[in-house]
Each structure stands twice: as C-alpha cells, then as structure tokens.
Structure 1
Amino acid sequence: MITENTSSSDGPGGVPGLPTRWVLARVAGPSMSPTVRHGDRLLVRRLPPGAVVPAGTVVLARFPARPELLVVKRVRRAVPGGHWVEGDNPLVTDDSRAFGTAVVVGRVVARLRPRPGRLPAPPPV
C-alpha cells in the first residue's frame, strides 16, 4: 500500500490516476518484501491510461473494486480490462488474488530512500 496522496481525475474503470508525471511514493506494509520494504520511498512515472506493461514490472496500481487503495505491486500479465498484479511476498494477498484486475497508473522507476537504486528482478517462483 502507498501512503502518499496521489489522486487525480478518474481514469479507466473509474479509478483515479496520478496528478503529475512524476510522483514520490512511500511504501506502507510488507506485501512487496524483499524487493521494497515498509518505509521505502519510490520514484514513480505516470503511465497513460490503458498502457501495456510488461510482466515483471513494478508498478503503482488501483483496483476498480477499491479505487481509494493505491498499491505497489509487480505485473504478472495483461488481462482484459487491465493487469493481474501480485506482491512479491506470497503471504500477503492484498493484490489481484483478492481484488481482481488492476488498473496500472504508474511505473516504479527507482527506490530513492533508504537504499537508492534500481529495483531487483522478481524473486524466483
């Protein structure tokens, strides 16, 4: 889950997009551990509505069933109406397994704090 206020006008599926081209987001929770952890700050680039995102990409997304919830997840595959996204921590299921198809609103470009750098590849399944 992300704790920044990043809502703007509605996008596909009635979910809010991101207000600016670049957004700083702070991770809250363990769903993407060990890739990103609680408290990490991420640099995110807004994606246009309906953008196709390759599998393995770490993104910010919203679920039409829970449009107020902004999450950081990894894209598993494109599906009708959006993308199937899951966290890297299999014990936490606040992802497409619980809420269905997600609308991707931004792509995570880098982790800024506390450990700057690019995000690692997905963990082995």
Structure 2
Amino acid sequence: MVPTLAPRDKILVHYGAHWGVGDIVLVSQGLRTDVKRVTQVTGQEVWVEGDNALVSIDSRQYGSIAIEQVVAKAIVRLPNLRWKFGSRTKQ
C-alpha cells in the first residue's frame, strides 16, 4: 500500500464498520489478510486494489471479491516509530 502505508506501519481497524469506495480495508483471503483500497462496489462484489499498481496483487489479478471478504475498515495509521535508546555523545 505504499505510498499510503509504509512497511511496518500499523493500522487501527474497526471490524463491522461501514466502508465504501476509497476506503482502506482488510480483506480476508483464506489463511491471510490483505490491506487494500476499495475502488468499486457492484451488488455483492467488491473490486480492491493496492496503491502501488506495479507490485500489488489485487483484483486486477484475481478479479472481484465477495462483499463478505471485506472484514474491517482502517481508521487510523500509526507510523513505525523507531526509538534509539542509550546515552548521547558529546560533540
């Protein structure tokens, strides 16, 4: 989902939340869960895409998914903060 989400970013999700076109959602794909953006909803089917079209595996490869496969909506992105602990050196 780069550039929207960076590797190791965390997202806070709301299971059962209403979502629509443009929202970032969790998609259940059997044993794994993917993060994708909803780009189209048609009846009981959803088209989802990753933001990085060159490398994302999404509806462009596997087609639309069942609406039941969308399990949660991302509501907050938590950036990966890397803290360095220890003493400062004098300059």
For residue 61 of structure 1, what is the aligned residue in structure 2? 27
1:98 to 41, 54, 61: 61
Richer in strand (by share): 2
TM-score, normalised by the number of residues in structure 1: 0.55
Gaps of 5+ in 1: 1-31, 116-125
Within 5 Å, which residues of 2 pair with 1:1-125?
Answer: 32-47=1-16, 53-63=19-29, 67-102=30-65, 103-114=69-80
Higher relative contact order (CA 8 A, sep 6+): 2
Structure 1 stretches of at least 4 aligned residues deviating more than 3 Å after TM superposition: none
Q: Which has the larger radius of gyration?
A: 2
| RMSD between aligned residues | 1.8
Q: Identity, % of aligned pairs?
A: 37
Residue 84 of structure 1, CA deviation: 0.4
Gaps of 5+ in 2: 82-91
TM-score, normalised by the number of residues in structure 2: 0.74
Residue 113 of structure 1, CA deviation: 2.8
